[in-house]
Amino acid sequence: MMRIAVMVSGGGTNLQAIIDGINAGKITNTEICLVYSNNPNAYAIERAKKAGIPTAVKSPREFENRADFNAALLQILTDVNPDLIVLAGCLVVIPEAVVEAFPNRIINIHPSLIPAFCGTGYYGLKVHEKVLERGARVSGATVHFVDAGTDTGPIILQKPVMIRDDDTPETLQRRIMEQAEWKIMPMAIDLIANGKVRVENGRAVVDGYDELLDTL
């Protein structure tokens, strides 16, 4: 059984997709051992509690400096020692020490097709605002491993979503969640839980990827 810790900051719809995926048997061989939030008011925490999952809330604001917060965060994670850390709408910059402690064992969902519209400052609605500003015709979502950079780690899965003329950042955000994020995040977790993903020469290799394409 792969034990995962899910890190969140907000509404937690991706967390919900993971919980539902496990309950529906779409994500196999996986249990959530912890949901962590930096934000005590995150609705994601309510979702975790309703599902009977242990939670931890620790905000950087509780600490005098970032180094102390980073040490506390590392401690929370090493205490549960998950096989995989899943960033599901987590706005905390993951400290280098955490990345080093969990090499190729942290994944993130980003709401664009990396390497477009990603990197520092690209989070939340801003991503979709920039996509529309640029007049892009397609966007989507990406699940990738987390390395020391911002949105630079090996890409595991991506799914495109077509942009409509009448899209607003809000409608695009919602459609990307429904059509892409809530599908590829559970799928990536299931693949990892079943030993089907490895990193080779800085790229993620997914066993049976071409057959998977029909189900994406």
* Binding region for ligand GRF (CB under 6 A): 8, 10-14, 44, 88-89, 109-111, 177, 181
Active-site annotation holder among 32, 47, 99, 110: 110
Tell me the closest approach of the beta carbon of residue 212 to ligand GRF, in angstroms.
Answer: 20
d(CA 203, CA 198): 8
- For the CB of residue 110, give the shortest distance to ligand GRF in the complex, in Å: 6
Check if 110 is active-site.
Answer: yes
* Residue with Cβ nearer ligand GRF (40 or 195): 40
Integer Cα distance of 20 and 26 in angstroms: 8
By C-alpha distance, which of 104, 111, 100, 80 is closest to 4?
Answer: 80
Instruction: Closer to ligand GRF by CB, 69 or 182: give it.
Output: 182
- Least Å distance, CB 111 to ligand GRF, is 4
Cβ proximity to ligand GRF, 44 vs 194, nearer residue: 44
Beta strands in the chain (DSSP E): 2-8, 30-37, 55-57, 84-87, 106-110, 138-145, 155-162, 197-200, 203-206
C-beta closer to ligand GRF: residue 88 or 114 = 88
Answer yes or no: are the C-beta atoms of 149 and 115 closer than 8 Å: no
Find where tokens 């980003």 sit: 110
Minimum distance of ligand GRF from residue 139's CB (angstroms): 11
Q: Which residues pair with 132 in a beta bridge?
A: none
Decide the pairing of beta strands 197-200 and 203-206. Answer: antiparallel
**Residues with catalytic roles:** 110
